[in-house]
Amino acid sequence: MFATLSDRLADTFKNLRGKGRLSEADIDATAREIRIALLEADVALPVVKEFVAAVKERARGEEVSQALNPAQQIVKIVNEELVNILGGETRRLRFAKTGPTVIMLAGLQGAGKTTLAAKLALWLKEQGRTPMLVAADLQRPNAVQQLQVNGDRVGVPVFAPEPGNGVGDPVSVARASVEEAKRKLHDVVIIDTAGRLGVDAELMKQAADIRDAVRPDEVLFVVDAMIGQDAVTTAQMFLDGVGYDGVVLTKLDGDARGGAALSIASITGKPVMFASAGEKMTDFDLFHPDRMAGRILDMGDMLTLIEQAEKAFDEEESRKAAEKLATTGDFTLDDFLTQMQQIRKLGSMSKIMGMLPGMGQFREQLDNFDEREIDRIQAIIQSMTPAERANPKLIDGSRRARIAKGSGRQVSDVNQLVDRFFEARKMMQSMMRGGGVPGMPGMPGMPGMAGGKRAKARQAPKKGKGKRVSGNPAKAAQQAAAAKEKTAASPFGTPAEDIDYEKAAAALDLPKDFSKFLK
């Protein structure tokens, strides 16, 4: 969504590289480019003015003028200001101290409230909560049925006493849902309310009546991140008419410019709490302003990537694979396929790669990445015999032709997979032996590296530095005399001296029976 803004800001910062000092003209030109980038991204004009003014003021301050790298300091300032307009800190749900926590969803029709209700329910269920969905959208055709289907998909019960399609009182349904949750011991109630194609008095009154009937702990305004400048107008009208505690952005995976996400929190003063960025029920999480700012500035989002990996990866399988590699050094094609399948659980490969720092420059390649590549790898590996998967060295020319035919691929595809597998196994074995990343100098135990034991054994003994001699003749003579005196005082002498070994042995004063050890 923020691709255009990211590219524009990246080009702006590129012009600053290599400058040891920023002039007033450089700061003005940078601010102008940032202003254009934000306006093109559909960010609201008041937000743009405030943002650019803050950046210019800080750019003229001491933190930039005295910095060793002014360009990096400007990037740091822009990052911090982006975090500020996105809400500053991550805002989490407030849960009721007694009774079920009531969460009410409000917003325009088409914003994705019904789907988002199920996503939120699944997210809460994964947090250890026992949510219940409430079908209080009784106007939109099949809204009740849609919520019931989504509830079945995520394994969360749906309270739907009315059929909907214009039949029933949403206020009564919402009020009865709280009593139902208490009776069935649900600790969270998520109320899906009706939307409209535009903001009108009827919508506002109905939403306000539901709010007054159930007194929700959280009212979340659901907004489509793709509707542009109108999102800010709608958000403000809902705030004035109904009131809400936080914002949920949907369709963040779309190709719109995304200015709504940068505007709502700043104009309304209400934080963005959640973000939905995909069609799957799991494509939903807390909104972190600092992480979103990092994505916009192509700094990556490693924390989100790590969190997703922790949820998707099978810890037991990963531990067994690591132990197997550490003890026997074996890593088979079956293990390779298992790891690939676990990576696939993270979601779209292009989305995963996009979370890595600096991947903005490869956006075109990521956009054109074929997500079916893992399917092809799986087809090739599963066309092999168990013996071939356990020992890929058995795969000769005739076997490769058979595997290619069985998987519907070319022999060259089989060759590439086998070659990549051997490279991956070699790298992982090196990491397991050395306890670090191959190619990183100074890592302990790495074969062939300066820090490894083998490397230390192969290293020639270092020659000590010679004694420094003063360039002053008088001082040099004093140093020579002192060194001679020190050598004369040494009990062991020097290799050039004549040593009386018999006298030295007698001086050792060995025990009487020690002579038997010298025979």
Whole-prediction pTM:
0.61
Find the angle CA(470)-CA(476)-CA(477) to the nearest 5 degrees. 175
For 9-21, write each residue's pLDDT tens digit.
777 777 777 666 7
* Stretch 238-262: mean pLDDT: 76
Rounded to an integer, what distance in angstroms lies between the CA atom of residue 103 and that of residue 117?
Answer: 10
- Look-up of token digits 């191959």: 438
Annotated ligand binding at 290? The verdict is: no
Average pLDDT of the residues of the chain: 75
Using CB atoms within 10 Å of the CB of residue 57, give its burial: 0 to 12 exposed, 13 to 18 middle, 19+ buried: exposed
Per-residue pLDDT at 103: 94
Annotated ligand binding at 493? The verdict is: no
Per-residue pLDDT at 462: 45
Report which DSSP code applies to 48.
H
What is the β-pairing status of strands 272-276 and 284-286?
antiparallel
* Stretch 291-301: mean pLDDT: 69
Q: Which CATH superfamily is domain 101-296 in?
A: P-loop containing nucleotide triphosphate hydrolases (3.40.50.300)
Annotated ligand binding at 193? The verdict is: yes
* CA atoms 274, 278, 279, 283: torsion sign: negative
Question: Looking at 320-324, 373-377, 394-398, which range is the least confident one?
Answer: 320-324
- Assign 280 to helix, strand or coil: coil
Rounded to an integer, what distance in angstroms lies between the CA atom of residue 253 and that of residue 54?
Answer: 29
Annotated ligand binding at 111? The verdict is: yes
Annotated ligand binding at 127? The verdict is: no
Per-residue pLDDT at 33: 84
Annotated ligand binding at 265? The verdict is: no
| Higher local confidence (pLDDT), 84 or 69 | 84
CA distance to 186, 398, 502, per residue, from 510 (Å): 87, 77, 13
Helices marked H in 186-229 — which ranges?
201-214
Rounded to an integer, what distance in angstroms lies between the CA atom of residue 251 and that of residue 73?
Answer: 33
* Stretch 230-241: mean pLDDT: 80
Rounded to an integer, what distance in angstroms lies between the CA atom of residue 29 and that of residue 513?
Answer: 92
Annotated ligand binding at 252? The verdict is: yes
Beta-bridge partners for 224: 250
For 112-165, write each residue's pLDDT tens digit.
889 999 999 999 998 899 999 999 988 888 889 999 999 999 999 999 998 888
Annotated ligand binding at 269? The verdict is: no
Residue 456 has pLDDT above 60, yes or no: no
Can you give the residue ranges of every domain in the chain? 3-85, 101-296, 308-434
Annotated ligand binding at 108? The verdict is: yes
* Stretch 366-388: mean pLDDT: 82
| Higher local confidence (pLDDT), 443 or 419 | 419
Rounded to an integer, what distance in angstroms lies between the CA atom of residue 197 and that of residue 17?
Answer: 48
Annotated ligand binding at 113? The verdict is: yes
* Stretch 381-406: mean pLDDT: 89
For domain 3-85, the question of CATH label 1.20.120.140 is answered with yes
Annotated ligand binding at 129? The verdict is: no
Cβ neighbors of 304 (< 8 A, separation 6 or more) are 285, 288, 291, 355
Structure tokens at 107: 């917003």
- Look-up of token digits 């018999």: 502
Beta-bridge partners for 106: 221
Rounded to an integer, what distance in angstroms lies between the CA atom of residue 57 and that of residue 72?
Answer: 16
Contact 422, 395 (CB under 8 A): no
Residue closest to 236 by CA, chosen among 83, 91, 42, 44? 44
Rounded to an integer, what distance in angstroms lies between the CA atom of residue 90 and that of residue 290?
Answer: 8
Annotated ligand binding at 270? The verdict is: no
Contact 22, 242 (CB under 8 A): no
**Matching CATH number, 308-434, of 1.10.260.30, 3.40.50.11900, 1.20.1300.10, 3.30.70.20:** 1.10.260.30
Annotated ligand binding at 328? The verdict is: no
Burial code of 89-98, b = ≥16 C-beta within 10 A, e = fewer?
eebebeeeee
Annotated ligand binding at 282? The verdict is: no
What is the β-pairing status of strands 188-193 and 272-276?
unpaired
Rounded to an integer, what distance in angstroms lies between the CA atom of residue 176 and that of residue 3?
Answer: 45
Annotated ligand binding at 500? The verdict is: no
What stretch of H or E contains 431? helix 411-434
